[in-house]
Amino acid sequence: MGVAEVLLHTYDIACGLGAERWRPPGRLSQSLLAHLFPHVQPGPDPARTLLWATGRGELPGRPEVTSWHWHNAIVLPVEDEEAADVLELRELSPAAAMDLSVGGTAGHTWLGDDPDEGSRAAGAMVARAYARGTHRPEWGTFVLVRLRDERALGTVGFHGPPDETGSAEVGYGLQEKARGHGHATAALRALAVWGLGQPGSPTLRARVDPDNRASQAVLRRAGFTPADPPVVEDLDEGMDLRYERRA
């Protein structure tokens, strides 16, 4: 937010002094958009996109911006009386998601040092949606963090916002060392409570490999039940079991 204030008000001052050609640095603008403006589809000129997104200019093909806001990543508490650890779900910004997808840590210290492949895939999903302009803040990926040592245990989140039927798909995965402690169940339950509490009370869906009994148990403990029909065929991944949870 401090970077945003400096760049945007420097532009305002420059315009006031007659230096309308001054533009915020491109790389800083790109990073700022991906951190604080996840609802804004990136454009070919990051500085110009930033100025447009904050009501300071025009952008071909996009409507005039008359009011604007930035997005602060949300944090969801994970309440589980049976768990010994206090946990939080922290929303992953597109900037952090891109870093995670290309081998970075997304700014977290991970249990076991390196993020698991499922978390990297989740980051890549957010990054692709952001690039397409279909990413919707709060309906992406969350990092599960253990508060006592600030270790990231894995990721839990949505595959995108609710569709036209009000249905959203969830996914989850933990570092191997974090499994077996009830963390996935507690995190998925917290995510489901938040998602089902949003306007429209969407149905939450999940797909799981028929042989993954542990993941099926997580879904059942988190309040999901087999869907009707319970089996779906994916041309790329074969047969999956379907679960759902309604408000």
Clarify whether residues 86 and 48 are in a common domain.
no
Count CB atoms within 10 A of the CB of residue 38: 25
Clarify whether residues 34 and 134 are in a common domain.
no
Q: Is residue 68 part of a domain?
A: no
Mean pLDDT (the chain, rounded) = 92
Q: Is residue 64 part of a domain?
A: no
Q: Is residue 67 part of a domain?
A: no
- The pLDDT value recorded for residue 119 is 95
pLDDT at 124 over 70: yes
Clarify whether residues 192 and 92 are in a common domain.
yes
Q: What is the mean pLDDT of residues 119-147?
A: 96
CA 202, CA 199: separation in Å to the nearest integer? 8
Number of structural domains (the chain) is 2
pLDDT at 237 over 70: no
Which residues make beta-bridge pairs with 110? Answer: 113, 152
Q: Is residue 87 part of a domain?
A: yes
Clarify whether residues 180 and 86 are in a common domain.
yes
Clarify whether residues 115 and 178 are in a common domain.
yes
b/e code 123-148 from CB counts within 10 Å (16+ = b): bbbbbebbeeeebebbbbbbbbbbee
Closest by CA to 146, choosing from 106, 104, 189, 175, is 175
Q: Is residue 159 part of a domain?
A: yes
Clarify whether residues 204 and 111 are in a common domain.
yes
b/e code 180-201 from CB counts within 10 Å (16+ = b): ebbbbbbbbbbbbebbbeeeee
Q: The domain containing residue 22 runs over which residues? A: 2-53
Clarify whether residues 85 and 128 are in a common domain.
yes
Q: Is residue 58 part of a domain?
A: no
CA 155, CA 71: separation in Å to the nearest integer? 20
Clarify whether residues 134 and 83 are in a common domain.
yes
Where residue 147 sits, what CATH number does that domain have? 3.40.630.30
Clarify whether residues 45 and 128 are in a common domain.
no
Clarify whether residues 95 and 162 are in a common domain.
yes
pLDDT tens profile 70-110: 999 999 999 876 666 789 999 999 999 999 999 999 999 99
pLDDT tens profile 20-63: 899 999 999 999 999 999 999 999 999 999 999 999 999 999 99
Clarify whether residues 175 and 81 are in a common domain.
yes
Clarify whether residues 146 and 228 are in a common domain.
yes
Long-range own/partner contacts, residues 215-220 (CB < 8 A, 24 or more apart): 216/241, 216/243, 218/172, 218/184, 218/185, 218/188, 219/188, 219/243
